[in-house]
Amino acid sequence: MFDTALTLNDLLFLAQGAGMTLAVTAVSVTVGTILGILFGVLRFQFGPIWFAPLTFLLDIFRSVPLLIQLVLGNALQSILKLGWGPFTTSCAVLSLYTAAYCTEIVRGSMESVPVTTRRAARSLGMTWGQDMREIVAPLSLRIALPSWIGLTLGVMKDSALVLWLGLIELLRASQILVTRLQEPLFILMICGAIYFLLSFPIARLGGHLEKRWSPHD
């Protein structure tokens, strides 16, 4: 018969870790998406030449492993004596990491809108703002949504790396229980199930919106 030393308090400890994972993900994705939209629109409108320094910086965040970014970000805030805690540092680094990928998602989706469609809109007397709001934004949103959902789920899983900064999120909480209870398989199965429960609604919501906004409906 299966027996475990896992208690209700241990499950609550895992739930607290899951709450921290959601908090880090929510802040990082929200801030990163806002920055990504801003940078993406600027790159789409003015091209990469005018924003070469920004493009180079974003390329760094896309190229360097996230763990190295977290460690360097924590060291930098310590050198600058910003006084940030692990949560703030984690959110700052993950936000820039998210923004780097979101920028390319936004730029690519906006560039996929046919030029002829935009020319037709302008020929009807639409201003640049009306063109962006009424034509480019709705069409590019449909294209960008699947990639953005994938990015969000990726950030949620990558947030496990913040344990190296001392933040007790879901994976770190499970590691603590594994060390104490010596039941790695069972505890990690529970941890994986919680990750699935956190990710599944986001994936299904994205699939629902993608189907609802499909141009073939």
The pLDDT > 90 percentage for the chain reads 44
Q: Which regions of the chain does DSSP assign to beta strands (E)? A: none
pLDDT at 46 over 70: yes
63-101: pLDDT as tens digits = 999 999 999 999 999 999 888 999 999 999 999 999 999
Residues in the chain: 217
Q: Say what the pLDDT of residue 22 is.
A: 93
DSSP code of residue 113: S
pLDDT at 215 over 90: no
* Furthest CA-CA distance within the chain: 75
Distance CA 214, CA 217 (A): 6
DSSP assignment of 116-174 = HHHHHHHHTT--HHHHIIIIIHHHHHHHHHHHHHHHHHHHHHHGGGGGGGT---HHHHH
Reading the block at residue 71, the tokens are 């460690």
Q: pLDDT band for position 57 (50/70/90)?
A: confident
pLDDT at 205 over 80: yes
Q: What integer is the mean pLDDT of 209-216?
A: 67
Q: Say what the pLDDT of residue 216 is.
A: 52
CATH class, 20-169 region: mainly alpha
- Delimit the domains of the chain by residue range: 20-169
Q: Say what the pLDDT of residue 214 is.
A: 65
